[in-house]
Structures are given as structure tokens and as C-alpha cells.
Amino acid sequence: MQKEHTVKTYEAEIRELNEAVLEMARCTMGQLETAVRVIETRDSDLAAKLVSEDERVDELEMEVDALTVKLLATRQPMAADLRMTVSVSKIAAELERIADYAAGMGKLVHCVDGETPAELILSLRRMLEIAIGMLSELVVAYRDFDAVRAVAIWRRDDGIDRLYGDFLTQLQLFMSKSPDRVRSGAGLLLMGRHSERIGDHLTNIAESIYFVATGEKLPRPPNEP
């Protein structure tokens, strides 16, 4: 009976950890969705909300870290459970950085105004929309520890990278025609960089899920570093 109780308690702790990570992912996705609305509407109140709600993601990361430390210290997980427990902490850190970048978009929204070319706004929105789709799929991959799905999501970052390249070309053209817009142009450049980095962090999450599922690092194409 004692052993059965211990196993059930351990399983409950694992579920609690997984639910905390999934809640963190849901909050981060909400941040990305709000970032899209902020870029489209330039609503200062919505931008302030985007910045303030980053605190909830920070709180959840601390909760995940505490649960992870507790599991490692008291349960000494082995094999797949150990991979999962260690990887969860990495995934939480990646989600926290994504939320930080989303909040950063709210702080920079003043750089987007009526003179900002529509192509730049569209590129920012499309990058974030791809990121939202990736994160939505990552939630499913995490629940099932689906290695195949993780690889498919990992490859989707190529779309963000292509859009970021287009964004830089568009921004350079805009700045060459509007040298008086250096300050807002620098802000737009940072917003684009935030969007591109969000994609990178999402691929890191996909790699962690793949590792939990297979016990191996996700193989990279020969031209990848």
C-alpha cells in the first residue's frame, strides 16, 4: 500500500509539473496574440496590458522551477522521467524568453504609426502568426511527447526566417527614403528581431520535446550550425 501511495503521489507531482508548463504555454500564446493586435491597432492601453501580463509568465516559470527542483531532490527520477524533468525546466525558460520578447513589442509599439509602410506591419504580423501556430502545435507535441510533430514544428521556423529577411529589405528601403525616421526605424528593427528570436526559442522547445521522446538530440541538416 505504501508503494502504491508513493507511485500515485509521484504521478500527481508529474501531472502538476506538466500542467504548470502547459499553463505557461497558454499564457505565452496569449501574449503573442495580444502582440499581433497591438501591432495592428497601435492601442497604447493594450500595449501596456501586454507588458504587465508578462509578470504572470514569470510567476509560472518560478513555479515550474520549484516543482522541478522538488522532483529531482525527492524522487530522483530515472531514464525518460529524468529527461522529461530536466527538459521541462529548459522549456519553461524558453517560454519565459518568448513572453519577454512579446512584452518588448508592446514597449516598442510607439515606433509604428500612420507613416509606417503597410508591408513592414504585415511582415511583423505574419512572423508572429507563424509563431502562434508553432506554439499551438508544440502544446500538442508536449502533451504526447510526439517526436515526429516536434520535427515538423522545428522546420516551420524557416518561414519566420524568410519573412525576417524580407522585413529587413523593406526596412532598409523605408529608411533610405525617410532618413528623418531613424529613431522609429531602429525600433522597428528591434521589433523584427524580437519576432525572429521568438521563432528560435520555439525551435529550442521542439528540440527539447524531441529529446524527451527519443533520448537523442534532434539531427540537424548538414548546412545547419
Q: How many domains does the chain have?
A: 1
pLDDT digits (tens, 9 = 90+) for 142-170: 999 999 999 999 999 999 999 999 999 99
What's the pLDDT band for 88 if we cut at 50, 70, 90?
Answer: very high
Determine whether 98 is exposed, middle or buried from the number of CB atoms within 10 Å of its CB (0-12, 13-18, 19+).
buried
Which residue, 54, 53, 58, 60, is CA-closest to 21?
A: 60
In a domain? residue 221: no
Alpha helices in 109-181 (DSSP H): 118-144, 147-155, 157-177
pLDDT digits (tens, 9 = 90+) for 184-203: 899 999 999 999 999 999 99
* Rg of the chain (C-alpha set): 20
pLDDT digits (tens, 9 = 90+) for 99-123: 999 999 999 999 998 889 999 999 9
Domain at 156, CATH number: 1.20.58.220
Residue 78 neighbours by CB distance under 10 Å: 8
Q: Measured between alpha carbons, how far is 56 from 103 in angstroms, rounded to an integer?
A: 12
pLDDT digits (tens, 9 = 90+) for 2-40: 444 356 787 888 889 999 999 999 999 999 999 999 999
Q: Range of 62's domain?
A: 2-214
In a domain? residue 82: yes
So what's the pLDDT on residue 108? 94
So what's the pLDDT on residue 222? 41
In a domain? residue 222: no
Alpha helices in 42-117 (DSSP H): 44-52, 54-74, 79-108
So what's the pLDDT on residue 224? 54
In a domain? residue 95: yes
pLDDT digits (tens, 9 = 90+) for 45-61: 999 999 999 999 999 99
In a domain? residue 219: no
Q: Using the predicted structure, report yes or no on whether residue 64 has a pLDDT greater than 90.
A: yes
